[in-house]
Copies of this chain bind each other. A is one copy, B any other.
């Protein structure tokens, strides 16, 4: 029985797993407007400068800065306004000496003009005429060259890298791409994650369980975590504790998908069966028979056909926390992301001591509460069989490896969960 002959701390376990994954990142062209949360495959370069023309950042008058030098409240400079630059139109007339043109915020700056005087720093000489050009204005404040003007390429220069490869796309990234007219982008395909539940005692959530039976929940919590990480959950349903049947399901799962998760059950016999099935799926098979964490020590990690295999404990709390530790980063990895997007981690003070054994990295569910002393994290102690331990928690307190536990009042990282 290979029980726990190879137990590693979480960081080393992840490294070992990632080293063996050889499945390449697969890509597809995708409409930029629908790419929120997708991961880029290759860097994108600006096909043009942004802005592509000089733009005003104020409502006012485009001028030659030198014409305004010395202007003040007591000694204004008088300029002649010759025309208006309409929004969305080219500015056709260059600005002559001591001339100006009406410009609106975002409008194009006419040739020769090199600054914009804000309308608030001017006054029309004849306020009765505000329509017909030419008319005269008094300028009360000098402007410097470039003032209130966005230069060509000030946002991005043509040819520069605007979005790197292996980048998680957020709303502003879509905006940046669309501003450059990039309406399609190469992104990593969403990994298909097969989820197999096992157990003679497990029935579908819609079923009415008989004595000794329980409803499958791990398939759905792991499916939710998979979706959150950008994967597509492929539910294989509940497989009975039968080696041949489980092996057939697992073979189909690995053939059709990019990753296989088995909710391995908690009893040693079922767990051994999961290990045996994983060993038969291909080389190198099982890499690890356990992880130095609580909860979730009996997690099985392997690779076959270059694709990751994860055997989760049957307990719902252990299953979710282990999937958070190994499944989520693996799904991002399959999209080319070397590190998950910075997740919500808040800092809070813990309200009670937490014991931990040295050599183990623990995750304790916690409820967050605002207090006069700042955010408090209240540990939710509960057996890892009890899903409502997690329902009642806002996040997980990480008790670092070899810390020997935490004391009430300590500041801790809480991973929103």
Which residues of A are in contact with B by a Cβ distance under 8 Å? 32-33, 36, 50-53, 55, 57, 59, 85-91, 104-108, 119, 150, 154-156, 162-163, 170-176, 178-181, 183, 199-202, 205-218, 220-225, 227-228, 241, 265-270, 314, 316, 320, 342-347, 368, 383, 385-388, 390-391, 393-395, 416-417
A181 to chain B, nearest CB (A): 6
Q: How far is the CA of A173 from the CA of B176 in the complex (A)?
A: 36
Q: Which residues of B contact A32 (CB under 8 A)?
A: 205, 220
Q: How far is the CA of A330 from the CA of B19 in the complex (A)?
A: 45
In the complex, which of the residues B212, B218, B387 contacts A176, with contact meaning CB atoms closer than 8 Å? B387
Q: Which residue of B lies closest to A210 (CB)?
A: B90
- A105 adjacent to B212 (CB under 8 Å): no
* A320 and B175 contact, Cβ closer than 8 Å, known pairs A344-B344, A417-B170: yes
* A206 and B181 contact, Cβ closer than 8 Å, known pairs A53-B211, A90-B212: yes
In the complex, which of the residues B108, B171, B173, B228 contacts A171, with contact meaning CB atoms closer than 8 Å? B228
- A181 adjacent to B90 (CB under 8 Å): no
Q: How far is the CA of A383 from the CA of B201 in the complex (A)?
A: 61
How many copies are assembled? 2
- B86 adjacent to A200 (CB under 8 Å): yes
Q: Which residues of B contact A90 (CB under 8 A)?
A: 210-212
- B106 adjacent to A162 (CB under 8 Å): no
In the complex, which of the residues B175, B268, B316, B386 contacts A217, with contact meaning CB atoms closer than 8 Å? B175
- A391 adjacent to B51 (CB under 8 Å): no
In the complex, which of the residues B173, B180, B201, B393 contacts A107, with contact meaning CB atoms closer than 8 Å? B201
Q: Which residues of B contact A386 (CB under 8 A)?
A: 150, 154-155
- A174 adjacent to B224 (CB under 8 Å): yes
Q: How far is the CA of A36 from the CA of B388 in the complex (A)?
A: 17
Q: How far is the CA of A225 from the CA of B228 in the complex (A)?
A: 16
Q: Which of A119, A162, A209 has the most CB of B within 10 A?
A: A209
Q: Which residues of B contact A213 (CB under 8 A)?
A: 88
Q: Which residue of B lies closest to A320 (CB)?
A: B172
A222 to chain B, nearest CB (A): 8
- A217 adjacent to B87 (CB under 8 Å): no
Q: Which residue of B lies closest to A173 (CB)?
A: B391
